[in-house]
Structures are given as C-alpha cells and as structure tokens.
Amino acid sequence: MIGTVLCYVLLPAARLLRALRDAFFTCRKNVLLAKSTSTQVEGVFAATRGRLVPEEQEALLQQWLEEGAGNLPADESAPAEGKVSVTLTSDWLEGSELLMTSLSDLNLAPEVTQCAGQQLTELHALASSESRDDAVTEQTKLPAEETVAVADSAPWAAVAPQMDHQIAGCGTVGVKVQNEDPAVLAWSLAPDEETVPTEPTAWPIQDTVQFCPLLTEVPYHDILWRDWEDLSVQPSVLEQVSKSTSLFEFRVMSYNILAQDLVEQGLDLYLHCHPDILSWNYRLPNLLQEIQHWDPDVLCLQEVQENHYQEQLEPAFKEMGFACFYKRRTGTKTDGCAVCYKHSRFQLINHTPVEYFHPGLEVLNRDNVGLVLLLQPLLPEGLDLKAVSPLCVANTHVLFNPRRGDIKLAQMALLLAEIDKIAKTAEGSYYPVILCGDLNSVPDSPLYKFIRNGELSYHGMPAWKVSGQEDFSQQLYSRKLLSPLLPSSLGITDNCQYVTLCQPKKRGRRKYSRNFLLQFHFCDVACERPPHLVLLEGVTDAKPDRPAHWPKPAVMVKDPDPQPFVPRSSGIIQHGLNLTSVYSHFLPQRGRPEVTTMPMGLGATVDYIFYSAEPVENRNRLGRRLYQDGALKLLGRLSLLSEDVLLMANGLPNPFCSSDHLCLLASFGLEISSLTENGVIFAW
C-alpha cells in the first residue's frame, strides 16, 4: 500500500521537476545565445569533434547550434576589439551533459595533437567579440561560473590527470569545482602580466584532461649546485697562519662510486631510476668527468669493482697523472677500495692493505677492507732547504649491517691500529693523518664519537646503537658488546695499538714465556713454605718433592722469547690520533642536516673525511672535544646538499650524479718548515 502511494505521488513530482529543469535550461541557453555567436560556441566545443559521442548528445548539440544561430542579433555579427570571458554554467551542463564524456576523450581526438595552437587561436578569436565590461556584466548575471586563467604566451598541451605534486610548474592554470559538480568548467582570458602562478589543485574528475604549459626541465646542475666554501679567510685560520708561513696545498676527494655488481644485485633499491642511467656505460663517463672536474690530488674511492678498475678506471686515472693502489674485498666480493695520488705531488713511502676478515673471530668475520698509505709531499724546485711532514692517508668501507655495531667498532679499531703503526714517528708523535671512507654510521653515533673524541665506553652497549643507522630497541633480544672487544691473540690493545709497539716502560715489570718459568717449578725457593703462610696440617706443611725426571734448576738465563704484555681490558676503547671531521653535518643557511646518500629516499650522512688537528685544552662541550688546526690546516670544502634538494632531483643516482653517494672534497695545507744546522725547526 505504501509503495503504491509513493509511486503515484513521487513519479508525477519527478516529471514536474524535470520539466521545470528543462524549461530553466532553455531559458538560460537563449540568454547566452543572445550575447554570443555560433562561432564562439563552436570554438568552445571544437575539441569534441572527430570522435564518437552518444546520439542524444549529438542531436542536442546540433539543435542548440541551429537555434542559437537563428536567434542572433544582427548588430553582434561583427567582431569587436577587447577581451571576453566565455563561461559554461552548471545549469547548461546539467541539462546537456556534454562535458561528462567529451573531456575524458579530448586526448583521443585528432585535433588535440595541435592543441597548443588551437586553444590560443580559438580563445583569441573569442576575445575580439566583446569588451571586458560586457564580460564582467555577463559574469555577474550567470551563477556558478568558474574560470581558468590562460597565459597568451605559454605553450599548452593536453596532459593526463596528475596529482598536485606531479603538476607543480603548471602555475598559470587554476580550476575550481563548485558543489563538487564534475560537469562544471569555464574559461576566461587573462593577459600575461595579470596571471599569477598558482599550484593547481587535484582534479576530482577521473580521466579529465588538464591543460598545462609544457614543463620546462630544470637542469640538474642548477638543482644540485654545490658551493665551494673557502675556509682560509676565516679569522681562526688567519690567526694560525702567519704571513711568513708557506703551505703545501692539496685536495682530497672521498667518493663511493657504487659498484655495478651491487646495482644489479639490488635493483629494488633503484626503482626510482630509469634503467638507462643505471648502466655502467652511462655512469662511467659521468664519474670520470666529475673526478676530472674537481681535480683532486688524493683520491679515495669505495665500491670499486675489480674488473672495472683494472680495465677502465686505472688506465683513465693514470692518464690523469695518478698512481693507484687497490684492495679488493676478501671472499667472493668483487669490489674494494682504491687510493690514488698525483705522482707529481706525492711520493710513496709505505702502504699497507688492511683485511678485516680473521677466521675464528666473530667480531672480524666480514670481508670489508681498507688501505693505509704514507706519502711524502713533493716540493717545487727552489725549496730544497725546506721540508714538509709526510702525510698518512687511510681509506675504508665499513660493514653496512646496522645490527652489527660490534663488527663495525672492531673493524675501525683494527684500521686505527694500522694507522698508528704507519703514522707514528720515532719520537712517539704522529704524522698528519687523513681518514676517508664510507663508515656506515651517522653523525654523533657512538662510532662517530669514538673517532672524533678518541674514547668510547662500549661494555654493555647494544650493538645496533653503535652506528645509529636504525633503532632496534623494541626487539626482544639485542646483541650487546662485551669486553674485551678484540681477543688478545690479535695483539691489539684497547688503545688501538699493536702490543709490539706499546711495551710497558715501568721498571721491573716484565712478561716471561712459559718455558722460562717452568725451570723454577721445583727450585728450593719455590719449595719452601713462606713464613707468613698459615700452617695447616696436611695442606701447607708438606714440602713438594721434585720428580725424578725433573731437571735440577739451572742458573737463571735470559728469556729468549718474551711475550708482549697485554693489559686487561676495561671496557673502554681509545686512540690518540686527534681526528676531527671536515664537515659540520648541518646546513645553517637551510636549517637542515647535510646528507651524503639517500637509501630508499631517506637522506643520511655516512661518508666522512677526518683529519688531524690539535685539541683545545680544557675545552670540552657536552662531551664533544674541541679542536683547532695544527700543522695540517683545512682551507676549504665542497658543500653538501640537504635531503629536500636531492628529492627535487629524484634522489640518487640521477642523470647528473651517477652514484648513490655524493662525493666529498676538501682542500688542506701542510706547513713547510726549514731545518737549521742545529736541528731547530723554524716555520716559514
């Protein structure tokens, strides 16, 4: 019963509302056609031709054009100079439903291939029909009008629908939909000087076509521009360098160039990259051009694939004037580290390849490697009486695994022990040291603080915390570091020194071999009970008898094989190299941290250049040791970038930067001194 009543009541009401809507639509149509020409209407819907539309829409459009042409006033047939706004109201489009399907197929029409020229031609033709005053008056009469600003000089093209962040740059197009009606669309002309670039909003109509100016590609070298920071003009440097001081200036570059085998093994990490820019044939010229452009005197490379080094990189570097040393990772790994130096600037004194893999040691069971070189700077002719200190250069690539900070710390301790052995002078001091590499640790992590502050209390520390790459504090089980970090069989102390080089100098304290001590096992002195020993019957009153086969004690002889003395570990690891970072790891002008790599779109700093400096006495700030330049002075550096800038360039690698790391570059100066006859050193 209720359904029947509703049918008899609602159906007539629906028919009445539809009739009223059609009448209102017809009235509005005639009002507009009184002010327009058929040519204008054809221009608006020119893009709908050349495709299939529903028959009822085609018939309605044809009828509309014929009625409009017959109702035109004669005085409006001649075009007039001026600008016009052509609007399509929501009432028209609700009645005709023309744009519901036509806009989605604009990119399929043949005319759209010449869309850029057609839009401007049609819109300029409309602009000559009415004055701006008439257009404003017409807009005030018609409700629900929307506008799209069109720049006269902008090139236009039909593009597929995109979200806001995908169409940044189409600033002259603004579209607004009232009441979320997908059929509302309007155009209005505006001069270039009046258009204000705005970011377009997301289109609510699926498959609609947006008209945007063709995006002008911003060159990568503009986005990724890196400034050279001249630090030699800073007051702190000028105070330390007198006018009479001469410096041996040189540049050092550290660069993880991304081994091609690692790219092919981890393609999931580079889904944001076009396959062409990941090929080695594309990347190699970019890398060589970048290195040649910055022209370093010392080059430290990580992730250098062995066959590429032997066949391409080493020959190219030799042509640039480099002498090269390479160390491949142990095991089945195909990449390694390389250190190259200009043979016109340096001469090799000593070099040591470092392998971090030691069978049977859990904290040293990975295939990472390092290189340590001792170089003698070559002075120009005419400076024969002057001398400059040798320079120790170290390069390494530490384990990546964020959970195994114990391995990272052990690898770094082993490298620092090698540096200590090569860079230590006969007097016990150190030559200037430069340490480069991919340490897979973030700034202010415990590993970073250990290198910079020279001390770390590691006992009981969670292993994941050492590098600071990720937070695994929520895991139920967490590996912890225990002391000693390195076994005594390795011969390295908690001071990151080989025990053969750090024998104790306390008088009367020696370490003897087992065979030497066995000869005193049954000597008379050893078999006598000490006077202060409490007498216990059956325990301390029995004098041990010498076995028959035991030789009689001989005269004490000098131990031919003394064992090195290894002090007991305290859970604190130290080194005495006094290293500080070239970079501050923060960009004050942008208020953002520096980044050297972008794994999975997240910026991080894991690459460093550390150099020798002099600690400032009694100047520790929040546990951070302060330094000032000593004999090795930092003169300049190549600025790094922030994460947001790299995101604008689609991350790393990209067509401009062919590695997933940024290169680090610094300029140094070594003081040149002269030796007098009395051996006193004077600074020049």
What's residue 511's pLDDT?
62
At 512, phi and psi to the nearest 5?
Answer: -115, 155
Q: Which of 86-90, 126-130, 284-288, 550-554 has the lowest mean pLDDT?
A: 86-90
* C-alpha count within 13 angstroms, C-beta hemisphere, residue 175: 24
CA angle, residues 664, 670, 674, in degrees to nearest 5: 170
More confident residue, 355 or 72: 355
The pLDDT, as a whole number, for residue 582 is: 98
What are the structure tokens assigned to 653, written together? 């690698």
Average pLDDT over residues 470-494: 90
Torsion angle (degrees, nearest 10) of CA 151, 157, 158, 160: -100
Residue 660 has pLDDT above 90, yes or no: yes
Bridge partners, residue 455, by sequence: 574
By C-alpha distance, which of 362, 570, 356 is closest to 460? Answer: 570
Could you tell me the pLDDT band of residue 48, with boundaries at 50, 70 and 90?
very low
Q: Is 107 exposed, middle or buried (0-12, 13-18, 19+ CB in 10 A)?
A: middle
When mean pLDDT is compared over 60-69, 113-122, 362-371, 613-622, the highest value belongs to: 362-371
Mean pLDDT of 354-379: 96
Structure tokens that stand for 192 in this block:
């270039």
Look at residues 163, 60, 53, 145 and name the one whose alpha carbon lies nearest to residue 100. Answer: 53
Name the pLDDT band for 448 (thresholds 50, 70, 90): very high
Residue 302, token pair as written in the block: 């990580």
Q: Confidence band (pLDDT; 50, 70, 90) for 455?
A: very high
Determine the pLDDT at residue 521.
73
- Residue 682's pLDDT band (cuts 50, 70, 90): very low
Predicted local distance difference test score (pLDDT) of residue 88: 38
Amino acid at 81: E
Determine which of 70-74, 477-481, 543-547 has the lowest per-residue pLDDT on average: 70-74
Instruction: Taking the CA atoms of 360, 366, 367 and 368 in sequence, report the sign of the dihedral they define.
Output: negative
**How far separated are the first and last CA of the chain, in Å rounded?**
112
Given a cut of 80, whether residue 108 has pLDDT beyond it is no
Q: With 80 as the cut, is the pLDDT of residue 129 above it?
A: no
- Supply the pLDDT for residue 275: 94
pLDDT in tens, 140-175: 444 433 333 333 333 333 333 333 333 333 333 333
Q: Which residue has the higher pLDDT, 421 or 194?
A: 421
Q: Tokens representing 430?
A: 């150190």
Q: Which residues of 578-614 are buried (b: 16+ CB within 10 A; e: fewer)?
A: bbbbbbebebeeeeebbbbbbbeeebbbbbbbbbbbe
Going by C-alpha positions, the residue among 566, 370, 403, 401 that lies closest to residue 486 is 566
Integer Cα distance of 264 and 278 in angstroms: 9
Fold of 221-232+244-471+483-498+567-671: Deoxyribonuclease I; Chain A (3.60.10)
pLDDT of residue 3: 67
pLDDT at 418: 98
Q: Where are the beta strands (DSSP E) in 565-659?
A: 572-574, 579-581, 586-587, 592-593, 607-612, 614-621, 624-628, 632-638
Query: What integer pLDDT is reported at residue 590 of this predicted model?
Result: 86
Q: Stretch 484-513: mean pLDDT, rounded?
A: 77
- Taking the C-alpha atoms of residue 598 and residue 593, their distance in angstroms, rounded to an integer, is 13
Q: Which residue has the higher pLDDT, 282 or 29?
A: 282
Nearest to 258 by CA among 306, 305, 308, 309: 305
Kindly report, residue by residue over 237-251, the tens digit of the pLDDT: 666 666 667 899 999
CA–chain centroid gap for 409, Å, is: 23
High-pLDDT (> 70) share of the chain, %: 59
pLDDT of residue 525: 72
pLDDT of 555 above 90 = no
Cα separation, 292 vs 317, in Å, equals 9
Residue 104 has pLDDT above 60, yes or no: no
d(CA 404, CA 485): 13
Distance, in Å, from the CA atom of 94 to the CA atom of 21, rounded to the nearest integer, reads: 9
Q: What is the pLDDT of residues 568-596, one digit of tens each?
A: 678 999 999 999 999 999 999 889 999 99
Comparing 12-21, 313-322, 353-362, 395-404, which segment has the lowest mean pLDDT? Answer: 12-21
220: pLDDT strictly greater than 80:
no
**With pLDDT > 90 as the criterion, what percentage of the chain qualifies?**
47
Please give the pLDDT value at position 458.
96
Tokens 């501050």 label which residue?
584
pLDDT tens per residue across span 311-360: 999 999 999 999 999 999 999 999 999 999 999 999 999 999 999 999 99
Strands 335-342 and 298-305: antiparallel
Q: Among 201, 41, 232, which residue's Cα sits nearest to residue 129? A: 41
Name the least confident of 544-548, 604-608, 668-672, 680-684: 680-684
- Work out the average pLDDT over 475-480: 87
DSSP 604: B
Predicted confidence at residue 502, as pLDDT, reads: 64
Q: What is the pLDDT of residue 69?
A: 47
* More confident of the two residues 76 and 33: 33
SS (H, E, C) 403-431: CCHHHHHHHHHHHHHHHHHHHECCCCCEC
The DSSP 8-state label assigned to residue 597 in this structure reads B
Tokens of 576: 């005495």
Stronger pLDDT, 222 or 21, i.e. the higher one: 222
Q: How far is the C-alpha of 253 from the C-alpha of 261, rounded, in Å?
A: 23
If you average pLDDT over residues 631-658, what whole number do you get?
94
Are the C-beta atoms of residues 309 and 287 closer than 8 Å to each other? no
| Mean pLDDT estimate for the chain | 74
Residue 81 has a pLDDT of 40
Residue 234: what pLDDT?
Answer: 77
Predicted confidence at residue 560, as pLDDT, reads: 59
DSSP H stretches of helix in 49-104: 55-70, 90-96, 99-102
Of 357-366, 383-392, 523-532, which range is least confident? 523-532
Report which of 417, 419, 378 is spatially closest to residue 395, judged by C-alpha positions: 419
- Do the beta carbons of residue 221 and residue 403 sit within 8 Å? no
Give residue 335's pLDDT.
Answer: 98
- Rounded-to-integer distance, Cα 67 and Cα 59, Å: 12
The C-alpha atoms of residue 85 and residue 78 are separated, in whole angstroms, by 17
Answer yes or no: pTM beyond 0.85.
Answer: no
Q: Identify the residue whose tokens are 């309007």.
A: 186
Q: How confident is the model at residue 64 (pLDDT cuts 50, 70, 90)?
A: low
Q: Which amino acid is at 63?
A: Q
Q: Which of 78-82, 336-340, 406-410, 573-577 has the lowest mean pLDDT?
A: 78-82
Angle, in degrees to the nearest 10, between helices 2-35 and 132-141: 170
Q: Band the pLDDT of 42: cuts 50, 70, 90.
A: very low
235 pLDDT higher than 80:
no
Q: How many CA atoms lie within 13 A of 325 on its CB side?
A: 24
Mean pLDDT of 640-657: 93
In this predicted structure, what is the pLDDT of residue 625?
81
Nearest Cα to Cα of residue 309 among 287, 338, 333, 280:
338
35-39, 50-54, 350-354 — most confident range? 350-354
